[in-house]
Chain A
Amino acid sequence: MDYRLDRRQEAFRKEFVSWLEKNLPADFDPSRYRNYHTAEDWGRAYRDFQKRLFQAGYAAMHYPKEYGGQGKTLMEEVIVMQVLASTCMELRGPGMIMHGMAAPTILHCGNEEQKRKYLPGIIDGTHIWCQGFSEPNAGSDVANVSTRAVRKDGHYVVNGQKVWTSVAHMSDYCILLVRTDPNVAKHKGLSYLLLDMKLPGVEVRPTRQITGGSEFNELFLDDVRVPVEMRVGEEGQGWMIAITTLMFERVIGDAVMGAAYEKNMDRMVHMAGETKRAGRPVIEDPIFRQQLAQGYIEVMALKYHGLRNLSTQLQGGIPGPEGSIGKLLWSEPNQRICENGMAMQGPFSQVLSGSPWSIQDGFWQYGFLRSRGNTIEAGTSEVQRNIIGERCLHLPKDSSRAARRIQGGKGDGHQAE
């Protein structure tokens, strides 16, 4: 057992840290939680920075060279991602879904032409991709997707609506889950398409979310003609592709979250030393001390559980449903941590970013609101616990759900239940 990086990896990490110190964008201030306030600015900052990473040889470390990667291992990629997460998480924002979902799907399930055509643009910062899975009636029950794709003259004619489509407003492409066959069980009638967002009939409407900002959108598809070559895998394989590719990059996601939250705990220790309660630093209050420690302890659990999974995967282990643990280990603690961060501020906890009275630029206020989404996005906590219960612990499915599935067979599915 060994938790250390080997000498080569440690040297690589140091080299990247010093590169990053010199190459952060001039308009990026790491002490602010938000530097880019419009979609245009944020998207541009992401693309410029990704291009810089690519040119310096730090993008997609674990991807094959012929697609724009560096041909190294997952370990190098995790090292880069952890350093970025603890330094400039904001600059990663628009690319998170793309690097975590679109790229691995194309790499693992796409054909040679798709890989050559799309991966380089993802890796060198030219393109941003969004994810079109959720729909008004396909939330936790993602397989209930009803956006219809009808094959005609070498094209799929796509009609429907997607919701919570992150960064669609700055995207060039979208990974789209559509129903190609309404006459089979709902998991079997789905296909996976790559959608060019410039096609006629694609309309994006930003959704204003609980934080007041708009990372997410509604996506309306009206007779959009997607060439058949843009399908990943076979017709009807959409569900399998969507869930299996999710698992491969999960270890990176967990490592990124662990590094980002460790940084947040630093921030919290600093705040607790500076912020006062009854004239004394909050960090002297025994109850806040306990909460601070508990937050840190939970972040350590996330970090070391993530490293253990990463190590398993590096040695050729196949990620399975136990990956749901990581999702629960970052989403739920983050809510508690952000809430404690606000509580330390007393009445200032109501003051948002943008005032000389704001504490840490309103980071904890934003975090508190944003973290409400953590237990909903990427599979709710309830769905994660169903996955663990049924696939790791082999507990039976709910009889009403099991019965519906048996009765359903053909024809069940795409209609809302």
Chain B
Amino acid sequence: MDIKLSEDQLEIAKHARRFCENESSIEYVRSMFEDERGFTDEVWGKMADMGWMGMRLPEDYGGLGLGLMDLAVVLEEMGRGVAPGPFFSTVLLAGETLMQAAGEEQKSGYLPGIASGEIKGTLALHEPDSGADPGYIQMEAAEDRGGYLLNGTKIAVPDAHVADFLICAARTRKGRRPDRGVTLFLLDARTPGLTIHLLPTMDGTRKLCAVEFQQVRLGPDAIVGEVHKGWKPLLRALQVAQVGLCAECVGGAQRTMEIATEYARVRIQFDQPIGAFQAVKHRCAQMYVEAESARSVLYWAAWAQDHGSPGEAAMAASVAKVYCSEAYRNCATSAIQVLGGTGFSWEHDIHFYLKRAKANETALGDATYHREQVVRLLEGEAKRKRGKKRS
């Protein structure tokens, strides 16, 4: 047992912190927040130069072949700096889904471009009727003259407005269960019949779009992985992406806790620093408890994706998604309370954190969805144990 970051990981974290302070600075966040595109090519290019896009991709595809823990270290710093841009959608949604599902041709066609920062992608998953359940996929991909015809709407698609390609989960066979009849398609963002609308969303650091499919015609070569069997690899990719979000959440929780406590040390009211009042002190202490324990859960979940059994990986990803996203939300809202009127202003940076916290909370399955996954896994485990005893 050895539960701490390695020397290399600490070094990666140091560089990432420096990058997010200097290149993707909070001033950059502020200017991109209301910018329609949401990032500049300059900063995106510098991020690619750091090797971040390909950290988890194999060296054969221009990546660094590192683990999720290494990427989580970077994501924690990006969360700490609420870094804007299509990193998450390109690397953790599109890139990871390709890694889990795609065949050799698509991998070698797209992954090197992701690793170098030349192309951006995203995942079109949620639908208007899915709510927070990423497994509710009903959009139709009807067989048509040797190919497929896609019709329907995907919502909350991150950064689709700047993506070069999309991966879309659609139904090739009717039914409710995602593990039967869902197929993944890879398509160019300029495919005829595709309309992308940028939504006016709360979190300006990660733009969301509605994507309409009207008679979008795709050939069989657009299929990622196997027909009807898209959910299993997609679920693995989503688990990895969830843990990525958790890393952002931990970085954000840590930073909001620091902002609040720094302020509580110097802000004088009633002739003493407000941090001396237990009502404020205990609020700060609780933020520390949640940020630190969320980090402990994150490390387990990141480790489990690369080294645990599939059951442990799934459990850890759901546990972490609930725990880390709620910790971040609690820290961000608490920080605003500690900051008082200052925290309610647009001028202070804290609102970027609150908005990202809320966006992360609902992304890739909210806490209600993931608690349900936890119970299902526990029930499965209980059944297995009973079975074992009987036999």
Q: Does the CB pair B273–A395 fall under 8 Å?
A: yes
Question: With A2-B307, A75-B1, A304-B296 as given contacts, are A293 and B282 in contact (CB-CB < 8 Å)?
Answer: no
In the complex, B322 has a CB within 8 A of chain A: yes
Near A by CB (< 8 A), chain B positions 340-377 give 368, 370-372, 374-375
CB pair A386 B300 closer than 8 Å: no
Take A305-B293, A311-B3, A388-B289 as given contacts and tell me if A294 and B284 are in contact as well, using a CB distance cutoff of 8 Å.
Answer: no
Q: A1-44 toward B: CB 8 Å interface, digit per residue (1/0)? A: 11111100100000000000000000000000000000000000
Q: Is the pair A1, B4 in contact by a Cβ cutoff of 8 Å? A: yes
Q: What CA separation (Å) do A5 and B2 show in the bound complex?
A: 9
B382 touches A273 (CB 8 A): yes
Interface residues on chain B, size class: 35 or more
Q: Is the CB of A398 within 8 A of B278?
A: yes
Instruction: Report yes or no: B371 in contact with A289, Cβ–Cβ below 8 A.
Output: yes
The answer, yes or no, to whether B319 is at the interface (CB within 8 Å) is yes
24 A-B contacts, Cβ less than 8 Å apart?
A1-B2, A1-B3, A3-B3, A4-B1, A4-B307, A75-B1, A269-B379, A273-B379, A273-B382, A283-B375, A293-B375, A300-B316, A305-B297, A308-B4, A311-B1, A311-B4, A390-B281, A393-B288, A395-B273, A395-B276, A395-B284, A396-B265, A398-B276, A402-B276
Instruction: Specify which chain B residues have a CB less than 8 angstroms from the CB of A301 in the assembled complex.
Output: 293-294, 296-297, 319, 323
The chain A residue sitting closest to B368, CB to CB, is: A290
- Which residues of B are found within 8 Å of A385, using beta-carbon distances? 278, 281-282, 285-286
Closest to A78 in B: B1
Taking a contact as CB atoms under 8 Å apart, the answer to whether B281 and A389 are in contact is yes
Q: From residue 374 to 403 of chain A, which have CB atoms closer than 8 A to chain B?
A: 382, 384-386, 388-390, 392-399, 402
- Of all chain A residues, the one with the shortest Cβ separation from B370 is A293
Using a CB-CB cutoff of 8 Å, which residues 312-348 of chain A contact chain B? Answer: 312, 314-315, 322, 325, 328-329
Q: State in angstroms the CA–CA spacing of A296 and B374 once bound together.
A: 8
Q: Say which residue of B265, B276, B292, B372 sits within 8 Å of A305 (CB atoms).
A: B292
Interface of chain A, main secondary structure: helix
Q: Is B66 an interface residue (CB 8 A)?
A: no
Q: Are A389 and B1 in contact (CB under 8 A)?
A: no
Interface residues in A244-297 (C-beta closer than 8 Å to B): 265-266, 269-270, 273, 283, 286, 289-290, 292-294, 296-297
Q: B261 near A: Cβ within 8 Å?
A: yes
Name the B residues within 8 Å of A4 (CB-CB). 1, 307
Q: Decide if A307 touches B281 in the complex (CB within 8 Å).
A: no
Residue B299, interface by CB 8 Å: yes
Cα-based distance from A28 to B307 in the complex (angstroms): 38
Whole-angstrom distance between the alpha carbons of A273 and B386 in the complex?
A: 12
Expressed in whole angstroms, the minimum distance between the Cβ of B246 and any Cβ of chain A is: 12
| Chain A residue nearest to B378 in the complex (CB) | A269
Chain B residues 6 to 26 lying within 8 A of chain A, measured CB to CB, are 6
Which 10 A-B residue pairs are closest in the complex by CB-CB distance? A293-B371, A395-B275, A389-B281, A311-B3, A305-B296, A388-B285, A385-B285, A293-B374, A385-B282, A304-B300
Within the complex, the shortest CB–CB distance from A398 to chain B, in Å, comes to 5
Interface centre among A269, A298, A384, A393 (most CB of B within 10 A): A393
Shortest B55–chain A CB gap in Å is 16
Closest to B277 in A: A398
Whether the Cβ atoms of A304 and B299 lie closer than 8 Å is yes
B245 within 8 A of A: no
Q: Which of B288, B300, B302, B379 contacts A388 (CB 8 A)?
A: B288
Q: Which residue of A lies closest to B265 (CB)?
A: A395
CB distance from B306 to the nearest CB of A (A): 9
Please count the residue pairs between chain A and chain B whose beta carbons lie under 8 angstroms apart in the complex. 167
Chain A residues whose C-beta falls within 8 Å of the C-beta of B316 in the assembled complex: 300
Extra 19 A-B pairs, beta carbons < 8 Å, given A389-B282, A397-B276, A399-B276: A2-B1, A2-B307, A3-B3, A3-B303, A3-B304, A75-B1, A286-B372, A296-B319, A298-B323, A300-B323, A305-B297, A307-B300, A308-B299, A312-B3, A315-B4, A329-B293, A385-B281, A385-B286, A389-B285
Contact with A along B297-328 (1 / 0, CB 8 A): 10110111001100000001001001100000
| Alpha-carbon gap, A311 to B379, bound state (A) | 31
Give how many A residues have a beta carbon under 8 Å from the other chain's beta carbons: 55
B383, closest chain A residue (CB): A273
Other-chain residue from A293, A307, A395 in contact with B372 (beta carbon distance below 8 A):
A293
Q: Is the CB of B319 within 8 A of A300?
A: yes
- The answer on a CB contact under 8 Å between A325 and B288 is yes
- A1 B303 Cβ-Cβ under 8 A: yes
Does B271 make an interface contact (CB < 8 A)? yes
- With A325-B293, A393-B261, A395-B264 in contact, do A1 and B288 touch (Cβ < 8 Å)? no
> B5: CB under 8 A from chain A?
yes
Quick check: B2 and A394 within 8 Å, CB to CB? Answer: no
Q: For the complex formed, measure the closest distance between the CB of B244 and the CB atoms of chain A, giving whole angstroms.
A: 16
A306 — nearest CB in chain B belongs to which residue?
B296
Q: In the complex, what distance in Å separates the CA atom of A396 from the CA atom of B276?
A: 5
Q: Is the CB of B297 within 8 A of A3?
A: no
B40 at the interface (CB under 8 A from A): no
Whole-angstrom distance between the alpha carbons of A55 and B376 in the complex? 43
Cβ distance A171 to chain B, nearest Cβ, rounded Å:
34
B292 contacts which chain A residues (CB < 8 A)? 305, 322, 325
Q: A393 to B284, Cβ gap below 8 A?
A: yes
* Residue numbers in B under 8 Å from A398 (CB-CB): 272, 276-278
> Is B224 close to A, CB under 8 A?
no
CB distance from A322 to the nearest CB of B (A): 7
Contact at B372–A393, with CB atoms within 8 Å? no
Chain A CB within 10 A, most for which of B4, B5, B308: B4
B277: chain A residues at CB < 8 Å are 398
**A residues near B194, Cβ cutoff 8 Å:** none
Contact residues in A for B285 (Cβ distance below 8 Å): 384-386, 388-389, 392-393
Q: Given A1-B6, A304-B296, A396-B272, are A290 and B372 neighbors across the interface (CB < 8 Å)?
A: yes
Complex-state Cα separation, A266 to B285, whole angstroms: 31
Is B69 engaged at the interface, CB distance under 8 Å to the other chain?
yes
Q: What is the minimal beta-carbon distance from A47 to any residue of chain B, in angstroms?
A: 32
The minimal Cβ–Cβ distance linking B361 to chain A, given in whole angstroms, is 14
Q: In the complex, what distance in Å separates the CA atom of A179 from the CA atom of B99?
A: 67
Q: Is the CB of B299 within 8 A of A266?
A: no
**Shortest Cβ gap from A187 to chain B (Å):** 20
